[in-house]
Amino acid sequence: MQIKPTPSTRTAERQGRVELPGLGAGHERSPKMAELYRNAEALLGKQKKKNQKLKAGNPTSTVNTQRLLHELQVHQVELEMQNSELQEARNRMEALLERYTDLYDFAPVGYLTLDEQGQIQEVNLTGATLLGTGRSLLINRRLQSFVTPASRPIFLAFLKRVFAGGGKQVCEAALLRENGASLWADFHGRSATPAGGPQKWCRVVVSDITVLKRAEEAQRRSDAMESSNEKLRQEIVRRKLMEKSLRASQRHQGKMLNQSRHMQEQMRHLSRQILLAQEDERKKLSRELHDVIAQTLTGINVRLSALKKAAALNTRGLDRNIARTQRLVEKSVNIVHEFARELRPAVLDDLGLIPALHSFVQLFSKRTHISVHLKVFAEVEQLDATRRTVLFRVAQEALTNVSRHAHASRVDVSIQKLAGGICMKIKDNGKSFQVERMIRSPGRKHLGLLGMRERLEMVGGSFDVESAPGKGTTIIAQIRSGNGRTRNESPMKSTETKF
């Protein structure tokens, strides 16, 4: 059976395609397949002629020819079915290729294939757009020519790592487009050289991270600005604190300055008062020496003259006159001793503080008729001479003030041991006074108080006065013991005396 080409088949052959009779226009063949079809058709024609000759010479070959024809027809149908399947596979491959091309060219990132020198072998449309030039113009051009000089060493090191075969490598570099615009790109590369291949090449994925870089830079600037603002706020707080501290310091300095001026004024006033007191004491001593000692000595001189004359005339009454003269001499000696005790009691230096206080309190109570209770512990004698003298002078001045101003009937003098120091209290039951006004007011009335304070501060002690209506006045004097004793020592023995 011979299949004759139809006009449409010849037209298809001229156009490079063949349509099988009876299969329609959907089964088109390529020129190669059309040539194969013609050869098969010619071979089939030769086979038919040969079969006709054999049939004429041998009637039994007719059955074989028909069987062969049937097989050929089955084979033809099989070939046509295979051709149809191949055509469908080709159509699917073309669709997949078109889809792959779309995915490759219009991917959101740039795909580049580079050789070992960084020359571009392949690039998609997105990569060409990132570089700002046509795709055909990028082939065989080195990618590092688009990298800025500052980022070029980083990019070359990236390529070196990629071709070293260490797996996927990453870097960031700044690129320059053909129009001069710059952008930041993120590179991901991996070596794609086949094993034993003659040429090394790699695939690189490029993405535009300019927006991310700008956001990071903006974030860094924002963080730096926030850090700067935080430092500025801290500096403002610190300066406010310093300003507040400075104002407080200025107020404190002003207060201290006022106190210093007041203390200087007090010191000047105290110096004047001391000078006046010294003059008064000198005047008193001068008057006492003139009125008492001088008169007594004059009386002694007169009596000695009378004794001289009486001895020459009459010896009767001589013993009586001598006894009178001796009494005058004894009185003069007592007066001199009293002046010496007033100036500096010798018992303080010879026997100590407690005997000196006993002697002074006894004479004070006898002279003023004020009851005095003295309580003191024996270890106070371990203080040095300067501190013992200060305590004695404070007690002497306090009792003198009581006799002059307090109108009291009882005074309690106690010296107690404290932790690391000594406390002396002198309390009377007389009238009270306003301490601050008395100390700050001008005049000589508070000279004794200032003198006691000066004496205590001279040895590092403290002085305080408490006075309230109905409770009398209490003088509190505290000084450091300086004897190395501790609070865990055995209790101090104390003595109490009433005068």
The two three-digit tokens of residue 59, written as one number: 């009637």
Same domain, 184 and 156: yes
Q: How far lies 434's CA from each of 263, 441, 467, in Å?
A: 19, 11, 7
Same domain, 413 and 456: yes
Region of residue 206 (left: phi > 0; alpha: psi -120 to 50; beta: else): beta
Residue 233 has pLDDT above 50, yes or no: yes
Q: What is the DSSP string of 139-196?
A: TT-BGGGGB-TTTHHHHHHHHHHHHTT-S-EEEEEEEE-TTS-EEEEEEEEEE-PPTT
Q: In what order do the strands lie in the sheet with 110-115?
A: 120-123, 110-115, 201-208, 182-191, 169-176
Residues 6+ apart with CB under 8 A from 5: 13
Closest among 188, 185, 189 to 213, alpha carbons compared: 185
User: Mind listing the pLDDT tens digit for each residue in 396-410?
Assistant: 889 988 988 888 999
List, in sequence order, every residue forming a beta bridge with 205; answer none if it has no partner: 111, 188
Region of residue 196 (left: phi > 0; alpha: psi -120 to 50; beta: else): left
Same domain, 374 and 484: yes
Same domain, 64 and 177: no
Same domain, 115 and 74: no
Residue 136: CB atoms within 10 Å: 8
| Run of H or E residues at 427 | strand 421-428
* Enclosing domain of residue 368: 349-498
In a domain, 198, yes or no: yes
Residue 249 has pLDDT above 50, yes or no: yes
Residue after which a domain boundary falls, among 46, 76, 105: 105
* Number of domains making up the chain: 3
In a domain, 316, yes or no: no
Region of residue 219 (left: phi > 0; alpha: psi -120 to 50; beta: else): alpha
The predicted pLDDT at position 14 comes to: 40
Residue 309 has pLDDT above 60, yes or no: yes
Average pLDDT over residues 238-252: 90
The C-alpha atoms of residue 360 and residue 452 are separated, in whole angstroms, by 17
User: Mind listing the pLDDT tens digit for each residue in 28-64?
Assistant: 555 666 666 666 667 667 766 766 666 665 555 566 7
The C-alpha atoms of residue 259 and residue 246 are separated, in whole angstroms, by 19
The predicted pLDDT at position 94 comes to: 81
In a domain, 317, yes or no: no
Burial 236-252 (b: 16+ CB within 10 A, else e): eeeeeeeeeeeeeeeee
Same domain, 355 and 419: yes
Residue after which a domain boundary falls, among 105, 137, 169: 105
Tell me which of 129 and 64 has the higher pLDDT. Answer: 129
Same domain, 76 and 153: no
- Share the mean pLDDT of the chain: 78
The predicted pLDDT at position 490 comes to: 39
In a domain, 285, yes or no: no
**Residue 485 pLDDT level (bands cut at 50, 70, 90):** very low
In a domain, 187, yes or no: yes
User: Mind listing the pLDDT tens digit for each residue in 329-382?
Assistant: 777 777 776 666 666 677 777 888 899 889 888 888 998 899 999 999 888 888
The predicted pLDDT at position 13 comes to: 41
In a domain, 130, yes or no: yes
The two three-digit tokens of residue 322, written as one number: 């001598």
What 3-state DSSP class applies to 406?
A: helix
Q: Whole-model pTM?
A: 0.41
474: domain CATH number is 3.30.565.10
146: domain CATH number is 3.30.450.20
Same domain, 371 and 493: yes
Same domain, 57 and 179: no
Alpha helices (H) along 344-458: 346-350, 353-368, 385-401, 435-440, 447-458
Q: Which of 31-45, 68-82, 424-438, 451-465 has the lowest mean pLDDT?
A: 31-45
Same domain, 203 and 94: no
Largest distance between two CA atoms of the chain: 229
The C-alpha atoms of residue 39 and residue 460 are separated, in whole angstroms, by 137
In a domain, 343, yes or no: no
- Secondary structure of 17-47 in the HEC alphabet? CCECCCCCCCCECCHHHHHHHHHHHHHHHHH
The C-alpha atoms of residue 394 and residue 426 are separated, in whole angstroms, by 9
**Residue 25 pLDDT level (bands cut at 50, 70, 90):** very low
In a domain, 91, yes or no: yes
**Residue 427 pLDDT level (bands cut at 50, 70, 90):** very high
Same domain, 53 and 160: no
CB–CB of 408/402 below 8 Å?
A: yes
Q: State whether the Cα torsion 318-321-326-329 is positive or negative.
A: negative
| Run of H or E residues at 339 | helix 318-343
What 3-state DSSP class applies to 426?
A: strand
CB–CB of 113/141 below 8 Å?
A: no
Q: Which of 29-43, 118-132, 172-186 has the lowest mean pLDDT?
A: 29-43
Same domain, 202 and 143: yes
Closest among 401, 454, 394 to 424, alpha carbons compared: 394
Residue after which a domain boundary falls, among 183, 208, 233: 208
User: What is the distance in angstroms between the CA of the first residue and the CA of the last residue of the chain?
Assistant: 170
The C-alpha atoms of residue 331 and residue 337 are separated, in whole angstroms, by 10
